[in-house]
Amino acid sequence: MAVHTPGGEASMLDGRPLIDAHVHAARLPTLTPAWRRWGEEFGSSHPWQDLYDAGGSLVPERVEAYFEDEGADALQVYRGLSVQPSPAGKD
């Protein structure tokens, strides 16, 4: 079964249906300073910070609009946890 765009054509990548399985999105206050620096450095090509409110929580309508603009046909948003790496040898 192919997913179709509003124009009726199937969303394809190299001849296969395009499906994005998931996105990790945590509240900004739960992220480590290292993650924030990484996001600011490598995510500077798009305004990901605009998806959040002043308190650092995702705004569902902004997330939905962002993915719609990116061409997503469907979106499921789940509350996520910020994964904090444990010190080496302390797993």
pTM: 0.59
**Is residue 89 a part of any domain in this protein?**
no
Domain containing 73 equals 44-80
Tokens 């979106």 found at: 75
**Is residue 71 a part of any domain in this protein?**
yes
**Is residue 39 a part of any domain in this protein?**
no
Mean pLDDT confidence for 25-33: 86
**Is residue 59 a part of any domain in this protein?**
yes
Tally of domains in the chain: 1
pLDDT in tens, 37-61: 888 898 888 788 899 999 999 898 8
Residue type, 67: F
What span, in angstroms and rounded, lies between the C-alpha atoms of 61 and 82?
21
